[in-house]
Amino acid sequence: MSAVVLDGRAAAAAIKADLAERVAVLRARGVVPGLGTVLVGDDPGSASYVGGKHRDCAEVGIASIRVELPATATQAEIESEIAQLNADPACTGFIVQLPLPAGIDANRVLEAVDPDKDADGLHPTNLGRLVLRVREEITSPLPCTPRGVIDLLQRHDVPLDGAEVVVLGRGVTVGRPIGLLLTRRHPNATVTLCHTGTKDLDEHLKRADVIVAAAGVAGLVTRENVKPGAAVLDVGVSRVFDEASGKNKLTGDVALDVAEVAGFMAPNPGGVGPMTRALLLTNVVESAERAAGLR
């Protein structure tokens, strides 16, 4: 078997084309959506992700506001920049790029963001809304990577009703929120949250119809622990030394030969990453539409 590729680049391009039309409608009404980013420190990976977010903004007509602080910035300095973005009418949504330097309390930083401008959907109020009022449509920003994972599965008609879904990783951007969102959208999916400390991980993986691997451990999922026909989405990122180039290389959680047994596979790169970026823009446009009374 050779897996159907869950092509995040193609799906993200379609989402961005739709957003460009919606931004044009907003602009015609005098509303210009604006994404703010707060980047603290000089991590090249984070700088590159933030750069990508602003290129995406330019593509769909969203204005960009960039805040950059040195790695020595204090908690108070970061929170002061957040307060300014909260108050800035040109900024309709913003994010603080994670991870933050050691010594900064990321929870306090996330809590300082106005929940209505929380483009990452990671404010406690917005995460809490995933738990409450389960029979109502969610009208607040949603966490981007979980939303991207579910969108990619739905676009390819991967069955989720009654599916056994194993999420690998307990981080705040993917592992913890994805079960909350998935069971809102597909109440009959059974979601198991596993991690590097899970006993008998292999048994959980072998039972799964869908695996979302976000543990950040290179090659953790191998073809031996994947059920034939399962959907496997590689969201993990780790840097591994590459003998050939003498440099560190970005590597996912899923071994490449898993594609020989899986039914669907979201590769890394080219799978969920581009969806994370596209859904961030979606959150910004949706916030602007809500503020303009269009939703």
Ligand X SMILES: Nc1nc2c(c(=O)[nH]1)N[C@@H](CN(C=O)c1ccc(C(=O)N[C@@H](CCC(=O)O)C(=O)O)cc1)CN2
**Of the candidates 218, 250, 291, 292, which one interacts with ligand X according to CB under 6 A?**
250
176 contacts: CB under 8 Å, gap ≥ 6: 170, 193
- For every residue of 56-91, DSSP letters joined together read HHHHHT-EEEEEEE-TT--HHHHHHHHHHHHH-TT-
Q: Would you count residue 120 as binding ligand X (CB under 6 A)?
A: yes
Q: Would you count residue 201 as binding ligand X (CB under 6 A)?
A: no
Say whether 253 is catalytic: no
**Of the candidates 51, 128, 162, 269, which one interacts with ligand X according to CB under 6 A?**
269
Annotated catalytic residue, options 16, 56, 97, 253: 97
Say whether 84 is catalytic: no
Residues in region 18-37 near ligand X by CB under 6 A? none
Q: Would you count residue 140 as binding ligand X (CB under 6 A)?
A: no
**Degrees, nearest 5: CA angle 8-234-206:** 130
Contact (CB, 8 A) for 66 and 73: no
The strand pair at 4-5 and 264-266 is best described as parallel
Query: Is 170 marked within a binding site?
Result: yes
Query: Is 171 marked within a binding site?
Result: yes
Compute the distance between CA of residue 52 and CA of residue 56 in angstroms, rounded to an integer. 6
Query: Is 147 marked within a binding site?
Result: no
The three-state secondary structure class of 221 is strand
Query: Is 223 marked within a binding site?
Result: no
Both tokens assigned to 22: 């919606």
**Of the candidates 97, 140, 283, 287, which one interacts with ligand X according to CB under 6 A?**
97
Q: Would you count residue 193 as binding ligand X (CB under 6 A)?
A: no
Q: Name the minimum Å distance from CB 97 to ligand X.
A: 5
- Alpha-carbon distances, residue 139 vs 65, 136, 162, 184, 192 (angstroms): 24, 9, 26, 13, 26
Say whether 53 is catalytic: yes
Residue number, 26 or 96, with CB nearest to ligand X? 96
Query: Which positions make up the binding site?
Result: 169-171, 237
**Residues near ligand X, by CB under 6 A:** 48-49, 95-98, 120, 144-145, 173, 250, 268-270, 273-274, 276-277
* Active centre residues (catalytic): 53, 97, 120
